[in-house]
Amino acid sequence: MADTIYDILVSSNIYVEVFKETMPLVIAGALLHLHYKNRITALEAILYAFATEAYTMLRVGPTFTATFFVSIAFMFEQLHLLIKGQIYVHRKYLLLLILPALSSFAIFLIVQLYKDPFYYPPGKQTAFYLRPVYFYVKTYLPLFAIGAKILQDKEQITFDFFSGVMKKIAKFSFVIAILQIFCQIILRNETLGEILGLQRRYMIEASTFVFSVRVQALFGEPKVFSAFLSLCIPLFMRDKEYRMAALAIVMGILTVSQTFWINMLSATLVFMLVSGIASTRLKIASTLGIIIGLFLIIAESKEYFIKLYAKNQNSTMYQLVFKRSVYRYDNEIWQKNNVILGMPLQRDMELPVVDFFKDQPYLLLSGYGAGNSTFIPAQYFFGQMNYENRLNGIGGHNLNMRWFYILAEFGIFSLFIFFFILTQTKPGILPFESSYFAFIWVCFFFSQIDLFLIITALLCAYDPDEAPSLSVYKPEYSY
C-alpha cells in the first residue's frame, strides 16, 4: 500500500522528480539570500516560500519544502539572538512556548498512572515520547521564529504591506494555474504539467474537460490553493480590484475544493452579517455559530440534496458544487455516521480521531501529543486505504481542521489558551482589519492556515510604531 501511494505522488520521469526535489533548496536559498541582502522582508520570504510548496523533497519527507528551510533558518537566527540576550520572550508567548511540554507531561502521567489506550508497533514505544520533541523543533519553534521576525520588522511590515504581498502572489498564481490548464487540456503534456507544479495523482483523475483539472498553481495542494485564494478575495474587494476578485473566485472553483465554498460562506457572514460587531472574538464566535447551524440544517436535509444531485449529476455546476459534498454525506457504502455538529468529517482523517476520543474522552484534557496520531489503534482506521500502514505503524496524521488539530494534539485547555492569546487586538483596530482577522480565525477552523493566523495575529496586535515593553536589560528586540 505504501508503495502504491508513493507511486501516485512521485513523477514517472526521474528527471522531473529530481527537479521537483531540488527546487525547495534552490527557492529557499534564493529567498534567504534576497532577505539578508535587504531586498525582501521576512514576510515576503516566508509567503513566497509557502506559495511554492508543490515542490517538495518527497524522498526525505513531504514537509521538506522551501517553507521548511526558510523557517528553520529564521529559527536558528532567533535562537542566536536569544542566547546573546538581544531578544526576550513576552510572558504570554512564553506560555505558548511551553504548552506542548505541559501537554506531553500530562499525557505521560495519564499513560503511566491511569490508562494507556495507545498501540505501539514493535520497537516504537520510545517514539511515542520522542515524536512530540521532533514536532516541537521542526514545526512549532519555526512558527515562533517567524513571528519574532515579523515583530522585529513591524515598522515596515504593516497590514497594508501584507495585503499587497498576498495580492501579488495571487496574481502570479493565476498565471501558473492558466498554464497548468493549458498543459493539461491543450498540450496534454504530463511532464510539463508536473514541472509547473501539478501533482501526478490529480492529472490521473483529470479528463479533457476543463472543470476536471484541479488547479493548484505552485501551492502544496488544490485545497491549500483554494484556502489562499479565499483569503485574498476580501483584500481584492477592499481595494476595489473586482476583476481580480472575480478571477480568484473562478480559480477557487477550479480547485474543486469544498474548503473554498466554506470559506466563501465565512467571508459573506463575517464581512456582511456580523461586521458591525466591535469585538473580534464575538465576530468569530457568532460566525462559527451561524455556520454550524447551517450545517445542522443541511445534515437534516441531506437525503433531499443527495437525491437532487442524483437527478442532476451530469450538470457541470452540480459536479463542481455538490459532488464532493454528496460523497461526504452519503453513508450508503460506508454504513457509518461521520457527521458531527452537522459537518461531514473525512472518513480517513478526522473521523477515526473523533471515534478514538469518544472511547477515551479523558484525553481531551491533554490531547494525544504532537505527532502521536500514529499510535491511535489501527482498528479506528479499518476500511481505509491506510489501514495496513496503520497496523505496521507507518504514516502520521495531519488534521486539516486546525481548531480540531490543536484540541486533538494538545488538549482543550491548550486550545482555549491559544484562542485567548492569539485573538488579542490593538486598541482602535480598523473595522476591516478586525473583520479580516475574525475571518482568518473562522477559516482556521476548516483550513490548514497556521502561517496566516500567526501573521495576522501579530499584525492586528501591534501598531507599526508601538514598541513592546522591554525587560530590565533593554534588549535590542522583543517578542
Identify the DSSP state of 470: P
Q: pLDDT of 180-195, one tens digit each? A: 989 888 888 888 888 9
Residue 37: phi, psi to the nearest 5? -95, 5
pLDDT at 383 over 70: no
Cα–Cα dist 376/397, whole Å? 10
Q: Which three cell numbers stand for residue 6?
A: 508513493
Lowest mean pLDDT among 22-36, 259-273, 465-479: 465-479
Q: Which residue has the cell 500500500?
A: 1
Cα–Cα dist 101/183, whole Å? 48
CA 334 to chain centroid, in Å, comes to: 27
Q: What separation, in Å, do the N-terminal and C-terminal C-alpha atoms of the chain show?
A: 45
Residues across the chain: 479
> What are the contacts of 77-85 at 24+ separation with CB within 8 A?
77/145, 77/149, 78/144, 78/145, 78/148, 78/149, 79/145, 81/476, 81/477, 85/473, 85/475
Place 334 in a pLDDT band, splitting at 50, 70 and 90: low
Lowest mean pLDDT among 141-145, 193-197, 382-386, 398-402: 382-386
Identify the DSSP state of 454: H
Place 318 in a pLDDT band, splitting at 50, 70 and 90: low
pLDDT at 6 over 60: no
Whole-number pLDDT of residue 10: 79
Q: pLDDT of 344-373, one tens digit each? A: 888 777 888 899 999 999 999 999 988 888
Whole-number pLDDT of residue 299: 83
| pLDDT over 70 percentage in the chain | 85
Residue 340: phi, psi to the nearest 5? -125, 125
Q: Which three cell numbers stand for residue 399?
A: 488534521
For residues 64, 67, 68 and 74, what is the CA-based torsion angle, rounded to 10 degrees? Answer: 160
pLDDT at 470 over 50: no
The pTM score is 0.89
pLDDT at 210 over 70: no
